[in-house]
Structure formats: structure tokens, C-alpha cells
Amino acid sequence: MRLYLLDEHIPPAYQTQLLYHEPSLMILAIGDEGAPVRGTSDPEILHWCERNRFNLITNNRKSMPRHLDAHLAAGHHVPGIFTINLEVSMGLIIEQLILIAGASHEDEFLDQIVYVPL
């Protein structure tokens, strides 16, 4: 099962809609119980995702590639980062994240940033 962590800049409607359309998904948002607290730094979020096997969903196109490079250079890994474009239809993003969750292998996106929509 693919696990998703939504960063704090992703509107809560994404979590609601993902769970509405695919209730079997495990989705946490920054600030939820069991997830990193709001204000956690990006490098710390990557460590949390690595430890807990969550794929990060973010809209951070500027600094996340740099943080991922540093994370990997230090010998760490992440299950995958999905960078979404908030200007694209939420329905299309939700559809593609559900498709990714159901049709991909667990480590298919290991150490990668994937831009959604695909």
C-alpha cells in the first residue's frame, strides 16, 4: 500500500478528496496526529518519510530538489516525492495519485521527484 504525506502547503481538500475516492489509502498531512508538526523543516520531513515509508506530496518545486539531493548525498533515501501543480484541476491530480497508488510497485519512485500530472 502506498502511503502519502501531504506537506502543509497542500490544501486540506486534497486529503479529503483522496480519501473520499479511495478510502483504503493511508494519507496524513503535516500537523496530523502521527505526522510531523507544522513548521517542520523540509530536510526533517524527508527523514520522517524515509523512516515511515511515506511518499511526500508537495508543491515545492524550488527548494525540494536541493533538499532531496542533500538527503541522497548523505546516504539516505525516500520512497518518492510527488510534486503537484496546484493550478491544475484537483480532480486530475486526485485521479493520478490514486492511479499511482494502485498501479505502481512500492519502490518504483525511490529517490525520485515525479511531477503530477504525469
Could you report the per-residue pLDDT of 81-112, keeping only the tens digit for each? Answer: 999 999 999 999 999 999 999 999 989 999 99
Rg (CA), the chain: 13
The gap from C-alpha 43 to its chain's centroid, in whole angstroms, comes to: 14
Predicted TM-score (pTM) of the model is: 0.95
Alpha helices in the chain (DSSP H): 12-21, 42-52, 64-73, 90-103
What distance in Å separates the CA atoms of residue 2 and residue 42, rounded to the nearest whole number?
Answer: 20
Q: What gap in Å lies between CA 32 and CA 71, rounded to an integer? A: 24
- Structural domains in the chain? 3-116 (3.40.50)
Render pLDDT for 4-21 as a digit per residue (tens, 0 to 9).
Answer: 999 999 999 999 999 999
